[in-house]
Protein backbone atom coordinates (compact mmCIF):
# COMPACT_ATOMS: atom_id res chain seq x y z
CA UNK A 1 0.00 0.00 0.00
CA UNK A 2 1.31 3.43 -0.95
CA UNK A 3 1.33 6.37 1.43
CA UNK A 4 -1.33 8.28 -0.52
CA UNK A 5 -3.68 5.31 -0.29
CA UNK A 6 -3.17 5.19 3.49
CA UNK A 7 -3.93 8.91 3.74
CA UNK A 8 -7.09 8.40 1.67
CA UNK A 9 -8.51 5.61 3.82
CA UNK A 10 -7.63 7.31 7.10
CA UNK A 11 -9.09 10.61 6.02
CA UNK A 12 -12.34 8.94 4.97
CA UNK A 13 -12.71 7.33 8.39
CA UNK A 14 -11.87 10.59 10.15
CA UNK A 15 -14.45 12.44 8.05
CA UNK A 16 -17.18 9.79 8.26
CA UNK A 17 -17.06 9.70 12.06
CA UNK A 18 -15.92 13.27 12.75
CA UNK A 19 -12.91 12.06 14.69
CA UNK A 20 -10.80 15.22 14.65
CA UNK A 21 -11.75 18.81 15.46
CA UNK A 22 -9.99 22.15 15.32
CA UNK A 23 -7.22 22.47 17.90
CA UNK A 24 -7.31 18.84 19.05
CA UNK A 25 -4.24 17.48 20.80
CA UNK A 26 -4.16 13.76 20.06
CA UNK A 27 -2.07 11.11 21.81
CA UNK A 28 -1.13 8.23 19.52
CA UNK A 29 -0.82 4.97 21.42
CA UNK A 30 2.41 3.35 20.24
CA UNK A 31 3.00 -0.32 21.02
CA UNK A 32 6.02 -0.52 18.73
CA UNK A 33 4.15 -2.82 16.34
CA UNK A 34 3.36 -2.33 12.65
CA UNK A 35 -0.20 -1.09 13.27
CA UNK A 36 0.61 1.77 15.63
CA UNK A 37 3.62 2.90 13.57
CA UNK A 38 1.47 2.94 10.43
CA UNK A 39 -1.07 5.07 12.28
CA UNK A 40 1.72 7.44 13.32
CA UNK A 41 2.73 7.81 9.66
CA UNK A 42 -0.87 8.41 8.63
CA UNK A 43 -1.69 11.08 11.22
CA UNK A 44 1.64 12.82 10.76
CA UNK A 45 0.89 13.15 7.05
CA UNK A 46 -2.78 14.00 7.54
CA UNK A 47 -2.04 16.98 9.79
CA UNK A 48 -0.13 18.62 6.93
CA UNK A 49 -3.15 18.90 4.61
CA UNK A 50 -6.26 18.35 6.76
CA UNK A 51 -8.56 21.43 6.80
CA UNK A 52 -8.52 21.66 10.63
CA UNK A 53 -5.33 22.01 12.66
CA UNK A 54 -4.41 19.44 15.29
CA UNK A 55 -1.33 18.45 17.29
CA UNK A 56 0.13 15.01 17.98
CA UNK A 57 2.15 13.35 20.67
CA UNK A 58 3.13 9.68 20.95
CA UNK A 59 2.94 7.51 24.07
CA UNK A 60 4.21 4.00 24.76
CA UNK A 61 3.20 2.09 27.89
CA UNK A 62 6.21 -0.11 28.72
CA UNK A 63 4.92 -3.24 30.45
CA UNK A 64 8.26 -3.80 32.16
CA UNK A 65 9.31 -7.07 30.53
CA UNK A 66 12.81 -5.71 29.92
CA UNK A 67 14.91 -5.84 26.74
CA UNK A 68 12.41 -3.63 24.89
CA UNK A 69 14.49 -1.27 22.75
CA UNK A 70 12.31 1.64 21.66
CA UNK A 71 15.12 3.82 20.34
CA UNK A 72 14.07 3.29 16.67
CA UNK A 73 10.58 4.54 17.55
CA UNK A 74 12.02 7.56 19.32
CA UNK A 75 14.14 8.32 16.25
CA UNK A 76 11.05 8.16 14.01
CA UNK A 77 9.13 10.51 16.32
CA UNK A 78 12.05 12.95 16.29
CA UNK A 79 12.04 12.78 12.49
CA UNK A 80 8.33 13.66 12.49
CA UNK A 81 8.80 16.35 15.20
CA UNK A 82 6.33 14.50 17.42
CA UNK A 83 6.98 14.49 21.19
CA UNK A 84 7.45 10.92 22.46
CA UNK A 85 6.81 9.70 26.01
CA UNK A 86 7.50 6.23 27.42
CA UNK A 87 5.56 5.31 30.57
CA UNK A 88 7.38 2.71 32.67
CA UNK A 89 5.14 0.23 34.52
CA UNK A 90 5.30 -3.14 36.25
CA UNK A 91 2.24 -4.53 34.50
CA UNK A 92 4.17 -7.57 33.28
CA UNK A 93 5.32 -8.37 36.80
CA UNK A 94 1.81 -7.96 38.18
CA UNK A 95 0.32 -10.30 35.57
CA UNK A 96 2.88 -13.08 35.43
CA UNK A 97 4.70 -13.02 38.77
CA UNK A 98 2.31 -11.63 41.39
CA UNK A 99 -1.11 -12.72 40.07
CA UNK A 100 0.16 -15.48 37.76
CA UNK A 101 -2.75 -14.94 35.39
CA UNK A 102 -3.56 -17.84 33.07
CA UNK A 103 -5.60 -15.51 30.82
CA UNK A 104 -3.79 -12.19 31.24
CA UNK A 105 -5.03 -10.27 28.20
CA UNK A 106 -8.19 -8.69 29.66
CA UNK A 107 -6.50 -7.40 32.82
CA UNK A 108 -3.44 -6.31 30.83
CA UNK A 109 -5.63 -4.27 28.49
CA UNK A 110 -7.35 -2.53 31.43
CA UNK A 111 -4.05 -1.68 33.11
CA UNK A 112 -2.47 -0.46 29.87
CA UNK A 113 -5.47 1.70 29.02
CA UNK A 114 -5.47 3.19 32.50
CA UNK A 115 -1.78 4.11 32.22
CA UNK A 116 -2.24 5.49 28.69
CA UNK A 117 -5.29 7.56 29.67
CA UNK A 118 -3.46 9.11 32.63
CA UNK A 119 -0.42 9.92 30.51
CA UNK A 120 -2.58 11.49 27.80
CA UNK A 121 -4.35 13.70 30.34
CA UNK A 122 -1.04 14.70 31.93
CA UNK A 123 0.19 15.77 28.48
CA UNK A 124 -2.90 17.89 27.85
CA UNK A 125 -4.51 15.59 25.28
CA UNK A 126 -8.25 15.35 24.79
CA UNK A 127 -8.14 12.40 22.39
CA UNK A 128 -6.26 9.12 22.04
CA UNK A 129 -5.80 7.43 18.67
CA UNK A 130 -5.76 3.62 18.59
CA UNK A 131 -4.38 1.68 15.61
CA UNK A 132 -7.21 -0.83 15.19
CA UNK A 133 -7.70 -1.74 11.52
CA UNK A 134 -10.57 -3.40 9.61
CA UNK A 135 -9.48 -6.93 10.56
CA UNK A 136 -9.49 -5.93 14.24
CA UNK A 137 -13.06 -4.67 13.90
CA UNK A 138 -14.24 -7.98 12.43
CA UNK A 139 -12.21 -10.17 14.80
CA UNK A 140 -13.56 -8.31 17.83
CA UNK A 141 -17.09 -8.88 16.55
CA UNK A 142 -16.39 -12.62 16.19
CA UNK A 143 -14.83 -12.74 19.66
CA UNK A 144 -17.97 -11.16 21.05
CA UNK A 145 -20.25 -13.61 19.22
CA UNK A 146 -18.24 -16.73 20.11
CA UNK A 147 -17.38 -15.97 23.73
CA UNK A 148 -20.15 -13.55 24.82
CA UNK A 149 -23.12 -14.41 22.62
CA UNK A 150 -23.43 -10.80 21.40
CA UNK A 151 -23.15 -9.09 18.02
CA UNK A 152 -20.85 -6.29 19.08
CA UNK A 153 -17.51 -4.62 18.45
CA UNK A 154 -15.73 -1.40 19.43
CA UNK A 155 -16.89 1.92 17.99
CA UNK A 156 -14.92 4.15 15.60
CA UNK A 157 -15.13 6.95 18.19
CA UNK A 158 -15.85 6.61 21.91
CA UNK A 159 -16.24 9.30 24.56
CA UNK A 160 -15.09 8.31 28.06
CA UNK A 161 -17.22 10.35 30.43
CA UNK A 162 -15.14 9.47 33.50
CA UNK A 163 -11.98 11.01 32.06
CA UNK A 164 -13.31 13.36 29.39
CA UNK A 165 -11.12 11.63 26.80
CA UNK A 166 -12.32 10.59 23.35
CA UNK A 167 -10.91 7.45 21.72
CA UNK A 168 -10.61 7.47 17.93
CA UNK A 169 -9.69 4.67 15.53
CA UNK A 170 -8.69 6.25 12.21
CA UNK A 171 -7.54 3.00 10.55
CA UNK A 172 -10.86 1.12 10.59
CA UNK A 173 -11.00 1.12 6.76
CA UNK A 174 -7.45 -0.25 6.35
CA UNK A 175 -6.89 -3.98 5.82
CA UNK A 176 -4.23 -5.70 7.92
CA UNK A 177 -2.60 -7.06 4.76
CA UNK A 178 -2.15 -3.49 3.55
CA UNK A 179 -0.59 -2.52 6.90
CA UNK A 180 1.90 -5.38 6.51
CA UNK A 181 2.71 -4.25 2.99
CA UNK A 182 3.08 -0.64 4.08
CA UNK A 183 5.37 -1.61 6.95
CA UNK A 184 7.67 -3.48 4.59
CA UNK A 185 7.57 -0.89 1.82
CA UNK A 186 8.49 2.00 4.11
CA UNK A 187 10.77 0.09 6.47
CA UNK A 188 8.93 0.86 9.69
CA UNK A 189 11.06 0.36 12.82
CA UNK A 190 8.88 -2.40 14.29
CA UNK A 191 9.80 -3.50 17.83
CA UNK A 192 9.01 -7.10 18.73
CA UNK A 193 6.34 -7.56 21.40
CA UNK A 194 8.11 -8.98 24.51
CA UNK A 195 4.89 -10.34 26.08
CA UNK A 196 5.15 -14.12 26.68
CA UNK A 197 1.44 -14.52 25.86
CA UNK A 198 1.81 -12.99 22.40
CA UNK A 199 0.47 -15.40 19.77
CA UNK A 200 -1.37 -17.63 22.28
CA UNK A 201 -4.61 -15.70 22.82
CA UNK A 202 -8.29 -15.98 21.94
CA UNK A 203 -7.77 -13.15 19.45
CA UNK A 204 -5.05 -15.15 17.72
CA UNK A 205 -7.48 -18.09 17.48
CA UNK A 206 -10.15 -15.88 15.91
CA UNK A 207 -7.59 -14.36 13.54
CA UNK A 208 -6.67 -17.83 12.30
CA UNK A 209 -10.35 -18.77 12.09
CA UNK A 210 -11.03 -15.74 9.90
CA UNK A 211 -8.18 -16.73 7.58
CA UNK A 212 -9.66 -20.23 7.26
CA UNK A 213 -13.09 -18.81 6.40
CA UNK A 214 -11.60 -16.56 3.74
CA UNK A 215 -9.95 -19.53 2.03
CA UNK A 216 -13.39 -20.64 0.84
CA UNK A 217 -15.15 -17.25 1.04
CA UNK A 218 -12.60 -14.55 0.08
CA UNK A 219 -15.09 -11.70 0.57
CA UNK A 220 -16.14 -12.83 4.04
CA UNK A 221 -14.21 -10.19 5.98
CA UNK A 222 -15.54 -7.33 3.87
CA UNK A 223 -19.08 -8.69 4.10
CA UNK A 224 -18.83 -8.96 7.89
CA UNK A 225 -17.43 -5.43 8.08
CA UNK A 226 -20.30 -4.20 5.90
CA UNK A 227 -22.78 -5.91 8.24
CA UNK A 228 -21.23 -4.01 11.16
CA UNK A 229 -21.50 -0.65 9.38
CA UNK A 230 -25.18 -1.33 8.64
CA UNK A 231 -25.99 -2.55 12.15
CA UNK A 232 -27.30 -0.79 15.25
CA UNK A 233 -24.05 -1.35 17.17
CA UNK A 234 -23.41 1.78 19.20
CA UNK A 235 -21.24 4.28 17.35
CA UNK A 236 -21.42 2.77 13.88
CA UNK A 237 -24.72 4.31 12.84
CA UNK A 238 -23.03 7.73 12.64
CA UNK A 239 -21.34 7.05 9.29
CA UNK A 240 -22.60 9.32 6.55
CA UNK A 241 -21.03 8.86 3.13
CA UNK A 242 -19.51 5.53 4.13
CA UNK A 243 -22.81 3.67 3.75
CA UNK A 244 -22.93 4.68 0.08
CA UNK A 245 -19.20 4.47 -0.69
CA UNK A 246 -17.68 1.10 0.37
CA UNK A 247 -14.39 1.66 2.23
CA UNK A 248 -12.48 -0.85 0.11
CA UNK A 249 -13.08 1.29 -3.00
CA UNK A 250 -12.09 4.80 -1.94
CA UNK A 251 -11.07 7.00 -4.88
CA UNK A 252 -7.64 8.60 -4.53
CA UNK A 253 -9.20 12.01 -5.21
CA UNK A 254 -10.79 11.92 -1.74
CA UNK A 255 -7.53 12.66 0.05
Helices (H), 24-104: 34-49, 71-80, 91-93
Max Cα separation, the chain?
53
Q: How far is CA 136 from CA 64, 81, 91, 139, 221, in A?
A: 25, 29, 23, 5, 10
Q: What percent of the chain has pLDDT over 90?
A: 73
Using the predicted structure, report yes or no on whether residue 68 has a pLDDT greater than 90: no
> Got the DSSP string for 169-193?
-TTTTS-HHHHHHHHHHTT------
Residue 173's nearest CA partner among 1, 6, 9 is 9
In a domain, 244, yes or no: no
In a domain, 221, yes or no: yes
In a domain, 169, yes or no: yes
Residue pLDDT, tens place only, 23-59: 999 999 999 999 999 999 999 999 999 999 999 999 9
CA–chain centroid gap for 11, Å, is: 15
Helix, strand, coil % in the chain, rounded to nearest 5 = 50, 10, 40
Total of domains in the chain: 1
| 3-state SS, residue 56 | strand
Please give the residue range of the domain that contains residue 221: 3-234
**Inter-residue contact 65 to 47 (CB < 8 Å):** no
Least confident range from 31-40, 110-119, 190-199: namely: 190-199
In a domain, 19, yes or no: yes
In a domain, 251, yes or no: no
Q: What is this structure's pTM?
A: 0.89
Give me the CATH number covering residue 51.
3.40.50.620
| 3-state SS, residue 160 | strand
Residue pLDDT, tens place only, 233-243: 999 975 544 44
The C-alpha atoms of residue 206 and residue 161 are separated, in whole angstroms, by: 31
Amino acid sequence: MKLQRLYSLVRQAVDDYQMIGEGDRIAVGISGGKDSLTLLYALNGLRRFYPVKFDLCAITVDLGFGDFDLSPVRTLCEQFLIPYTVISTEIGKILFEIRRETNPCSLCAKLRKGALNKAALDLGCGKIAYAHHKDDVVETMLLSMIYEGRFNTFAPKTYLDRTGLTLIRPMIYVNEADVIGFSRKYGLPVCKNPCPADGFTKREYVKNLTKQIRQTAPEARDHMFHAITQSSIDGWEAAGSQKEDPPDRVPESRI
